[in-house]
Amino acid sequence: MRIRVQKYGGTSVADLECMQKVREKVLKALDMGYKVVVVLSAMSGETNRLIEMAGRWSKRPDLCEMDVLLATGEQTSIALFSMLLKECGVKARSMLGFQVPIQTDKSFGKARILDIDADKLKAVLDKYDVLVVAGFQGCDSEKRITTLGRGGSDTSAVALAAALNAEDCEIYTDVAGVYTTDPGVCPQARKITKIAYEEMLEMASMGAKVLQIRSVEFAKKYNVPIHVRSTFSDGPGTLVVQEDKSMESAMVSGVAYDKDQARITLVEVFDEPGVAAMIFEPISRANIVVDMIVQNPSREGKTDMTFTVPKGNTEETLKILKRIKSDIGASGILHDADVAKVSVIGVGMRNHSGVAAIAFSALKNENINIMIISTSEIKISCLIEEKYTELAVRTLHEAFGLDK
């Protein structure tokens, strides 16, 4: 049995006309001899409508009941789309999270998939040619409805593809694929033909919002090839796959940026064991995600500690720091919300020296000052003044020849 998983996002199932386009794609896959598992999101705008509604009913809507409410969005999509398939004689049926079942943990609102009963699902696939599965939702061990968080339908699709050992997992969206950078910022951005899971993870976490990060982690773990492509055109999109030789020849695959960063500097804190923990433990307990962290070499037993947090968490972070200020011996707390992070990403970086040098000199040529640098094996990130973001992205994009 050749199985293909196709996932369509909210804009792809926004109305009857869109769903008819989706039907054509599904029929084409059937013609090619596949059994198709179609994973759908809620019609675009629906999830926001429901969240807004819940906000009127309750200031802090119960998480568990929120999932019951939100799950109706995908339920509506799959019922309507199944009708559309049956209308033209396709042997199809809808499946809700609890029917598959897609077993998750009990983290309502951001549940993780624990298990999908592949044998049971394959038995259903024996009887039907298309299964239309509700994305974004699952159920816990007590059959209560859970949802997987924003973009969770991507993870549903990849998990189903992994469980069913599908040939591939197509993620249909309203863009043509993954780009070397944001085309809105840099008109020279090109569609990437093939990208490694690791690169995609770095791209996704920094605002190339095509795929939910967790879906890529899942795909990497189970080696599911993902094909990101457009619902509204027929061309090939971007393959997200395991790293291969061809990828290493390119130094850099893409440039990402993130404007949702605020910089915080603790001036002259004690340079002693345990001080870092004293700073970051209370921040983490407040559910604030710290991104870049830099500590300068110590002078006279004191050091400056700089890190970034999401802009919206600045006030709360400062409040926490003021409480511990004297314990850590800081002489001052500085902060700056007008910053942004730009990053160059590529698995090829491992084999090429000089990537950092090219990046830094490119920024220097434009007189862009670098406040913080942080690096991983396949990524170099620089914190800069926010107003230079677009210029920095275009400069780096050109410096690494991504426009060619």
Amino acid present at 42: A
- Residue 178 and residue 203 in contact, taking contact as beta carbons nearer than 8 Å: yes
CB of 81 to a copy of itself, least distance (A): 8
Residue 263, both tokens:
């910089």
**Which residue's CB is nearer to a copy of itself, number 73 or number 177?**
73
What is the closest distance, in whole angstroms, from the C-beta atom of residue 106 to a copy of itself in the complex? 13
Q: How many whole angstroms separate alpha carbon 367 and alpha carbon 278?
A: 36
Nearer to a copy of itself, 66 or 349 (CB): 66
Q: How far is the CB of 3 from a copy of itself (least distance, A)?
A: 21
Nearer to a copy of itself, 81 or 179 (CB): 81
Closer CB to a copy of itself, residue 145 or residue 224? 145
- The residue type of 328 is I
Neighbours of 188 (CB within 10 A): 13
DSSP string for 15-55: SHHHHHHHHHHHHHHHHTT-EEEEEE-PPTTHHHHHHHHHH
Q: How far is the CB of 133 from a copy of itself (least distance, A)?
A: 12
| Cβ–Cβ under 8 Å, residues 50 and 73 | yes
Beta carbon nearer to a copy of itself, 5 or 84: 84
Sequence length of the chain is: 404
Q: How far apart are CA 288 and CA 284, in angstroms?
A: 5
Kindly compute the dihedral angle of the four CA atoms of residues 236, 240, 245, 249, in this order, to the nearest 10 degrees: 70
Output 134 or 158, the one with its CB closest to a copy of itself: 134
Return d(Cα 249, Cα 190) in angstroms, integer: 17
Q: How many Cβ atoms sit within 10 Å of the Cβ of residue 156?
A: 31
Q: Which residues of 78-102 are buried (b: 16+ CB within 10 A; e: fewer)?
A: bebbbebbeeeebebbbbbbbbbbb
| Least gap, CB of 174 to a copy of itself (angstroms) | 21
Which is nearer to a copy of itself, 127 or 285 (by Cβ)? 127
Q: Which residues bind a copy of itself (CB under 8 A)?
A: 16, 19, 50, 53-54, 56-59, 61-62, 64-66, 68-69, 71-72, 75-76, 78-80, 82-84, 86-87, 93-94, 96, 98-99, 143-145
Shortest Cβ 130–a copy of itself spacing (Å)? 12
Shortest distance in whole angstroms from residue 121 CB to a copy of itself: 13
**Identity of residue 36:** V
On whether the CB atoms of residues 375 and 381 are closer than 8 A, the answer is yes
CA atoms within 13 A on the CB side of 381: 24
Minimum distance between the CB of residue 67 and a copy of itself, rounded to whole angstroms?
A: 8
**Nearer to a copy of itself among residue 62 and residue 315 (C-beta):** 62
